[in-house]
Structure 1
């Protein structure tokens, strides 16, 4: 038998973290890709590509948020990732 704690069913808090913090993290990640990806912001079709990239990134984060053990851990990890990603975006 494993002594690791089971994943608790904090569905509401995890879902809210995934929806709100996942969206802001997806915005920051897509923004980082827009600036540091191939062609930088000068690429012609990059605006359209980034617009379509936002939804899969956000939904990926939203689906992976349920792997956290608690809603609090999801809040802390996604909050930290948001701070890091937005900090890198503004330091660009």
Structure 2
């Protein structure tokens, strides 16, 4: 009975890799753009562009590896798609 309640991480690494590569990259780009949009009022725009550009790699790699910690590829896709929707909604709201 208890064996049915315990969820294990499924080894479907193809779907998790695709989700991490595609949706993780788009989420990293959205978060880097949020850094630029929020920080442009406090720092010079040329500095914020460089910080945004270099932060994509720093954000994408952890997001890529987090995609392997989901229970299945389907749940990874759903949560990453939801995070992308929220991030791009915030970005479009702040940009006006």
Pairs aligned (count): 92
Following the alignment from structure 2 to structure 1, what is the Cα–Cα distance between the partners of residues 93 and 86? Answer: 10
- 73-82 or 36-45: bigger deviation: 36-45
The structure with more radius of gyration: 2
Instruction: Give the match's secondary structure for 2:55.
Output: helix
Q: Structure 2 regions of 5+ residues with no counterpart?
A: none
Supply the RMSD in Å over aligned alpha carbons: 1.8
Q: Which runs of 4+ in 1 moved over 2 A?
A: 37-44
Contact 1:34/1:41 (<8 A) preserved? no
Q: Which residue of 1 aligns with 2:75?
A: 73
**What does the per-residue CA deviation read over 1:23-46, in whole Å, with 9 as the maximum and x for residues that have no partner?**
000011111111113745744311
Structure with a larger share of its residues in helix: 2
| 2:44 equivalent to 1:50 | no
Following the alignment from structure 2 to structure 1, what is the Cα–Cα distance between the partners of residues 42 and 88? Answer: 18
Q: Which residue of 2 aligns with 1:83?
A: 85
Q: Which residue of 2 aligns with 1:28?
A: 30
Q: Structure 1 regions of 5+ residues with no counterpart?
A: none
TM-score calculated relative to the size of structure 2: 0.86
Contact 2:36/2:51 (<8 A) preserved? no
Q: Which residue of 2 aligns with 1:19?
A: 21
- 16-25 or 45-54: bigger deviation: 45-54
